Structure 1
Amino acid sequence: MAIYGKLKLEHSLAITAVLISACLMAGCGGSDDSSDNDPNDTVTPSNNIPVADAGSDQMVITGSLVQLDGHLSSDIDGDTLSYQWTIDSAPDDSVTLTDAQNVMASFTASIDGDYVISLIVNDGSDNSVADSIIVSSQSSTVTETLYSIVDTHQSICYSSSSGDENKCDGKGYDADYNGHQPDYTLSNDGLIVTDNVTGLIWQQSSDINEDGLLNYDDKLFQPDAVEHCDNLTLAGRSDWRLPSVKEAYSLILFSGKDASDYQGTDTSTLVPFIDQVFDWAFGDLDSGVDRIIDGQYASTTLYQSTTMNGDATMFGVNYVDGRIKGYPSDTKPFYVRCVAGNEDYGLNDFEVLTSDTVSDLATELMWQTSDSDSSNWDDAVSQCETATTASFSDWRLPNAKELQSLVDYSISPDTHSSAAIDAVFDSSSFTNEAGVKDWGYYWSSTTHVSNSGDGSNAVYVSFGRALGYMQSTILDVHGAGSQRSNDKVDVITEPGAQSATGSEGEFYYKGPQGDILRHNNKVRCVRDTE
C-alpha cells in the first residue's frame, strides 16, 4: 500500500509539472502588463563569497614580533569585512595571536619552526575560504644574522677627466659590479617599508606631525628624535628606534644627483639619493631657515670628539646631496625616519685570516689589512683591480657603502689617537694641513654625480678628521666617519676650488664649510667571500 501511494504521488507531480510548463509556454493568464508583476514583490540577489588574503610566507628570526596583514582581502560586492586569524599549527603550543579579529594581527615566534597561520573573512553573510601562510622562524646565530650591504644602485660609468657618461667596460668602477640590489616591500597599508636585503623595517613617511606635509615642522633636534622613535607605536610594533648612521646610510642610493650647486627653486627635476618607495623632502625654503640641500636625517650616532668650534656632533645622512656629515646635535633640527628589526645591522665581526687580510663575518667581505697611497682615483681603482694580496686576484675598490661599513664610530683621532677603524687594521698616518698627526680619506669606487650629470667627482670616506678651512682656520668640520667627495683627477682643476697655505704647504678647499680636498687619498681593497 505504501509503495502504491508513493507511485501515485510521483505520477501526479509529473503531470502537474507538464501542465505548468505548457502554461508558461502559452502565456497562460497573462499579458504584457500582467498584474503578476507586483511592485511589492522583491528578488533577493545572490551574495558573492568574499576572498581572504593572508599575505605572503615569511622568514623571521626567533623571538621577533611577526606582523600579519589581511588588507588585500576583498569582497566583490563591496561589503564590510570582518576578520578571523587562527594558528593552525605551531612548534610552540602556547603561542597566541594578538588582535586575531582585526585586519592586522601579530604573534611572537618564540621558538624555531614553521607556524601555519590562516585567515577567514566574513562579509556579513558568508565566510571566505581560509587562506594560509607559513611563517618560518630560525634562531639568531652567527651564520643566520649575516646582513648584506645594499648596493649603491649606480649603473652608469663616467669619464674621470670630462665627467661624461661612458660605457662600462670592466675597469673596476662601482657600476661594473652588481652587488645586492635594492629590494623593498611596502606594506598594504602604506605605513612601513621592509628592506628585503638588510632585514630592516622602516617608516615609509617622515611626516611625524601627520599633517600631510613633509616640511620644516616635521624636523626634530636629535635628543627629541631619539625620544620620538622610542615612543612610537606603528603597524602593531613598539620596537621602533632612531637608526644608527650605518642603518640610515643603508638607504642611500648613488643613482641620485647632488643638488648642492642648484640655484633654482623648482625641485621637480632633482633626483634624491633614496628609493621612491619612501617619502622624502628637500630643505623647506618656506621656513626661512633651510636651503634646498637641508635634507639631513637624524641618527643615534654621536661623534666621540667635537666639530667646528667645540660643537657636540651627530652624524646625519643627507639624501639630497648624498653625504654623511657631522652636524650640531643640539642646535639643528633634522628629518626623522624610525627603524625596527635586525638590531645586529652595522655590527662588525672581524676575523684575522692572514697577516694581509681581515674578514668581516657579518658582511662576508674580506679586506686588505694594510692601506696604500694613490696618485688619483683611477690609480686607486687600478691598484685594487690588479692586486694579488693573499694570492686572490678578485680584489676591487669598495663602493661607498661597503667602505663606510668599516668605520668604527666609537673611535675618533682626538680621543683615541687613531683612525676611526678597528685595531685589526693597519692605517697609515700623516701630518695634515694643520700640522697635526691624522689619518686619511679613503677612495671608494662610487662616482658622486652632480645635478648637471657631471661624474668627475668620486666618493670618499674620512677615517681621519674631515677637515675644512673656515675664516682662515683649519678645523675638523664634519668628523671622522664622514662621507664626502672630490675631483677624481686633480683638485686644482675642481670648479669652485680655492687654495690656501697651511703648515704643510699649499692645499685646496671648496664649499660652505671649506672642505679640504686631496687627490692622493688612501686605498683599502675588498673582495667577496661568499
Structure 2
Amino acid sequence: MRLISHTSLISAIALSGGLSAPLYAAEDLTYPLVDTMQDQCFDLAGEAITCPATGEALYGQDAQYTGTASDYTDNENGTVTDNVTGLLWQKTPTDDRLKYADAIGYCEALDLGGRTDWRVPSIKELYSLADFRGELLRPEEGEPTPYIDTSVFDFSYPEGQMAFAGQYWSSTLYVKGPVINGRNQGAFGFNFADGHIKSYGTGLDFYTGAPSTQSGLPTGDGQGAPGNFVRCVAGDSDVYGVNSFTANDDGTVSDAATGLMWQQADDGTRHEWKEALAYCEGLDLGGYDDWRLPDSKELQSIVDYNRTSIPAIDDLFEVTQDSETLDYWTSTTFGDIKSHANVIVFGLALSKSADQDEYMDWHGSGAQRCSINACDIDRPDNLVRCVR
C-alpha cells in the first residue's frame, strides 16, 4: 500500500529525477485539495480487500494514494475552521429546508462567531467537506455514516423524510441551460447523506430569474421547488476553487492552484473501471510515468462551472467524445454501492424519472454520480483523464 502525502509526493518526484524542483510549494497553493479520506480498497463485487500491490489488478484505487488529510478546528463558538482550505464553516446548519433564494438570505443575515460575512458556499467549497468514508445503509444493515466528518460538524438525517434526502445548497448556478425540463433554473448542491453532486431546481425561471410560472417541476410560484439545507461559510470567495492552468506543450496541463498536473487529452477510449486504473498506472506522458486515476475531489477540481457551454472544462483540455458521453472515471469507490466508482460528468448528466421515456440533462454538467444509479443512464465504461 503506497501512502503519499500531497507535499511528499511532489518532493518524491523531484528526488527521483522526474523534475529538477518541486512543481509548487505546498504553501503557495491557492486551491489546496482536502483528501477524500477513503481508506479501504474494494474488489469488483464491492467486497473490502487488502489493497493490491503495484502491478496487480485494481491497483491505483483512491485509498492507495493519500493526499492532504482533512484538518479541522472546532472554535467552540459555533464555527469550525478548515486548516487546509482556510475556510470558516458554520458548525450546526439550519434544521429547515430552504429554497435557494431563502438560503442566500439566511447566510447573508447570519451573525455567528463574531462574524457577519457569511454566505452560501460555492460547489467547490462545499465539496471540500465531502468525506468518502460515508455510506447510506438500509436500516437492517446498521447505522449509516454521513459523507461529512461528524466529529466536528453537526449533521442529522431528516426526520420523517427519506434517509437519502440530505441535500445542501451551493451558490453555484447551473449556467448551461434549464434543468429537469422547460425553463427551470438550477443550482448545484452536495448530498451529505448519499454522496452526490447534482443540480436542483431553484424555483426561478432560468431566463428571467423570476419565480417560475411553468407547469412541471418546479411549478407555480416556485412552491414545487425542492428545499435544501444550507451550511454557511466565511472566507475569501474569489480564491478557493479558482484554477491556474498552464499548457506545457508536452501533452500535459499544470494547475498552479492545486499543484496537480493533468493529461491534456483523454485517450478517446471508454474503459471499464479496472481498465481505467491500469491505463493511468501504465501511462508514460510528458516524461513522467507516475500517472494515476484521479480521486473524486481532484477530478471535480477541474470542472468549469462558469462555462456556458459543454464540455464543462477549460479550452486547454482536449475532449474526444460528444456531449452525451463525457463521464470520466475517478479512483473513488462509491460508499453506497462499493462495486461501483464515482464519475464526474463534463457533458450531459443524463437521467429520467420512472414515468419518462427519454433521458435529459437532469443533474447538470459538473455533477458527480456513481457509475450506476437508479434512473441515471448506465455507465459501465467511461472516459479517463489521468493526473499526477
Q: TM-score per shorter chain, which class?
A: 0.7 to 0.9
Question: C-alpha separation between the residues in 2 aligned to 1:314 and 1:459?
Answer: 21
Question: C-alpha separation between the residues in 2 aligned to 1:381 and 1:150?
Answer: 21
Q: What is the CA deviation profile of residues 352-410 of structure 1, one whole-angstrom value per residue up to 9, with x for unaligned ones?
A: 11240111110000001001223300111111111111010111100000000011011
Corresponding residue for 1:180? Answer: 68
TM-score, with normalisation over the residues of structure 1?
Answer: 0.60
Corresponding residue for 2:104? Answer: 226
Indicate yes or no: 2:170 matched with 1:274.
no
Task: Give secondary structure in 2 for the equivalent of 1:518.
Answer: coil
Corresponding residue for 2:200? Answer: 327
Question: C-alpha separation between the residues in 1 aligned to 2:198 and 2:130?
Answer: 14
Q: Indicate which of 314, 317, 321 corresponds to 1:429.
A: 321
Corresponding residue for 1:155? Answer: 39
Give 5+ residue unaligned stretches, structure 2: 1-25, 54-58, 204-224
Corresponding residue for 1:165? Answer: 48
Q: Indicate which of 258, 283, 303 corresponds to 1:363.
A: 258
1:390-409 correspondence runs (5 A): 390-409=286-305
Contact 1:256 1:271 in 2 (8 A): yes
1:369-448 correspondence runs (5 A): 369-372=264-267, 373-411=269-307, 415-416=308-309, 418-430=310-322, 437-448=323-334
Task: Give secondary structure in 1 for the equivalent of 2:156.
Answer: coil
Q: Indicate which of 81, 105, 112 corresponds to 1:194.
A: 81
Task: Give secondary structure in 2 for the equivalent of 1:254.
Answer: coil
Corresponding residue for 2:370? Answer: 485
Task: Give secondary structure in 2 for the equivalent of 1:523.
Answer: coil
- C-alpha deviation, 1:143, in angstroms: 6.9
Task: Give secondary structure in 2 for the equivalent of 1:401.
Answer: helix
- C-alpha deviation, 1:439, in angstroms: 4.5
Corresponding residue for 1:294? Answer: 165
Question: C-alpha separation between the residues in 1 aligned to 2:191 and 2:67?
Answer: 23
Question: C-alpha separation between the residues in 2 aligned to 1:144 and 1:267?
Answer: 45
TM-score, with normalisation over the residues of structure 2?
Answer: 0.81
Task: Give secondary structure in 2 for the equivalent of 1:269.
Answer: coil
Contact 1:302 1:313 in 2 (8 A): yes
Corresponding residue for 2:249? Answer: 354
- C-alpha deviation, 1:200, in angstroms: 0.8
2:92 alignment partner AA? S
Identity %, equivalent residues: 42
1:447 alignment partner AA? T
1:148 alignment partner AA? P
Q: Indicate which of 335, 338, 341 corresponds to 2:232.
A: 338
Question: Per chain length, whose mean CA-contact separation is higher, i.e. which structure has more relative contact order (CA < 8 Å, sep 6+)?
Answer: 2
Q: What is the CA deviation profile of residues 427-486 of structure 1, one whole-angstrom value per residue up to 9, with x for unaligned ones?
A: 1123xxxxxx53410000000022xxx520100000001101341122111110000002
Indicate yes or no: 2:309 matched with 1:309.
no
Q: Indicate which of 301, 318, 330 corresponds to 2:191.
A: 318
Contact 2:134 2:147 in 1 (8 A): yes
Question: C-alpha separation between the residues in 1 aligned to 2:178 and 2:136?
Answer: 26
Corresponding residue for 1:123? Answer: none
Contact 1:147 1:197 in 2 (8 A): no
- Highest Rg: 1 or 2? 1
Corresponding residue for 2:135? Answer: 257
Q: What is the CA deviation profile of residues 133-175 of structure 1, one whole-angstrom value per residue up to 9, with x for unaligned ones?
A: xxxxxxxxx9745231000010100001x21001012411000
Contact 2:243 2:256 in 1 (8 A): yes
CA RMSD across the alignment: 1.8
Task: Give secondary structure in 2 for the equivalent of 1:465.
Answer: coil
Task: Give secondary structure in 2 for the equivalent of 1:325.
Answer: strand
2:385 alignment partner AA? R
The alignment of Structure 1 onto Structure 2 pairs a total of residues equal to 330
Runs of 4+ in structure 1 displaced over 3 angstroms?
142-145
1:329 alignment partner AA? T
Contact 2:80 2:89 in 1 (8 A): yes
Question: C-alpha separation between the residues in 1 aligned to 2:305 and 2:256?
Answer: 19
Contact 1:348 1:360 in 2 (8 A): yes
- C-alpha deviation, 1:267, in angstroms: 10
Q: What is the CA deviation profile of residues 209-258 of structure 1, one whole-angstrom value per residue up to 9, with x for unaligned ones?
A: xxxxx3xxx22111111111122221111221110011100000110013
Task: Give secondary structure in 2 for the equivalent of 1:313.
Answer: strand
Question: C-alpha separation between the residues in 1 aligned to 2:370 and 2:347?
Answer: 15
Contact 2:60 2:292 in 1 (8 A): yes
- C-alpha deviation, 1:268, in angstroms: 7.2
Q: Indicate which of 501, 519, 522 corresponds to 2:380.
A: 519
Question: C-alpha separation between the residues in 2 aligned to 1:357 and 1:446?
Answer: 23
Structure 1 pair 254/406, CA: closer, same or farther in 2 (3 Å)? same
Contact 2:188 2:200 in 1 (8 A): yes
Corresponding residue for 2:11? Answer: none
Task: Give secondary structure in 2 for the equivalent of 1:175.
Answer: helix
Question: C-alpha separation between the residues in 2 aligned to 1:420 and 1:439?
Answer: 13
Corresponding residue for 2:342? Answer: 459
- C-alpha deviation, 1:280, in angstroms: 1.1
Q: What is the CA deviation profile of residues 95-151 of structure 1, one whole-angstrom value per residue up to 9, with x for unaligned ones?
A: xxxxxxxxxxxxxxxxxxxxxxxxxxxxxxxxxxxxxxxxxxxxxxx9745231000
Contact 2:293 2:387 in 1 (8 A): yes
Contact 1:419 1:439 in 2 (8 A): no
1:60-79 correspondence runs (5 A): none
- C-alpha deviation, 1:279, in angstroms: 0.7
- C-alpha deviation, 1:306, in angstroms: 1.5
